[in-house]
Amino acid sequence: MTNTSPGAFSSTAKHQVAVSAMFERIAPRYDTANRILSFGVDVFWRRRLVRGVAAAFLPGSRRRILDLAAGTYDVSIALADRIPGAFVLAVDSCLPMLQAGKGKLIRAGGYAKSRIAPIAGDALHLPMNDASVDAVTVSFGLRNMFPRKAALAEAHRVLTPGGVFHILEFGAAKCRICGGLYTVYLTRILPYIGWLVTGDKEAYSYLARTVRDFPAAAVLTEELRAVGFQEVTARRLWGGIAYLHTGKK
């Protein structure tokens, strides 16, 4: 039998098609699954990301923000709501994910909605000019991008000099006891609950695999430096279950 799950392909295009097909399948139940699987903690992690973006802007500066892998707009809406003067380009390669978030966009109200532009596009080939955005965010999206270095380089290309790339991503919880419990949760419990909520066990086994395979913070720090980012930082959240990485152009 042919393995058509994301990550099974060496070609970028085939990987992308498989990733988008997977997110298309889970899109209608994506938000519900997120809240249940993270016990609601993902909401606080995203808030930390948004606070970091707001803090990195100088008073009075232009605030054109690119939210990569925007999904159902959790981060895009928070950016538009909480950062005065922000305009958010919400890019995702899976149109059904953007469509699944449409109701949230409407409920967010006219102010936030008028400050978010949804764009179907690939983070590896952004339809944007060099140095055209003032900040880039990606929350739980980077580990789906292959090759990762191309995505980092593309984020660097579109940022204005001085702009900051903010990455929120799962980590590999290194402490002994919580690391062990986390691994059991990730590999045994999470795919099962994911299957109950979305009907798609493969998608949540894939999530567990990509979290396990995602590089350690020190490695990602080096990758960010290698494509030109400076002042690179990595902040542990919840004992390393998630990380906030930043790099300045």
Which residues of this protein are in contact with ligand SAM, per CB under 6 A? 16, 19-20, 23, 68-71, 74-75, 91-94, 97, 122-124, 139-141, 144-145
Nearest distance from C-beta of residue 86 to ligand SAM, angstroms: 16
> How far does CA 133 lie from the centroid of its chain?
17
The answer to whether 53 and 137 are in contact (CB under 8 A) is: yes
Inter-residue contact 96 to 24 (CB < 8 Å):
yes
* Site of tokens 């005065």: 84
Q: Are the CB atoms for 249 and 224 separated by under 8 Å?
A: no
**In angstroms, what is the minimal distance from the CB of 19 to ligand SAM?**
5
* Shortest spacing between CB 133 and ligand SAM, in angstroms: 15
Cα dihedral sign, 179-223-249-138: negative
Residue nearest to ligand SAM (CB): 71
For the chain, the helix, strand and coil percentages under 3-state DSSP, each to the nearest 5: 55, 20, 25
User: Judged by CB, which is closer to ligand SAM: 32, or 61?
Assistant: 32
Which residue, chain included where needed, has tokens 């949760």?
185
Choice between 121 and 179, CB closer to ligand SAM:
121
Burial of 76 (0-12, 13-18, 19+ CB in 10 A): buried
Q: Which is nearer to ligand SAM, 68 or 105 (CB)?
A: 68
What distance in Å separates the CA atoms of residue 109 and residue 208, rounded to the nearest whole number?
Answer: 35
- CB 247 → ligand SAM: shortest distance, Å? 18
| Least Å from the CB of residue 43 to ligand SAM | 10
**Which residue, 171 or 176, has its beta carbon nearer to ligand SAM?**
171
Q: In this complex, which beta carbon is closest to ligand SAM, that of residue 69 or of residue 234?
A: 69
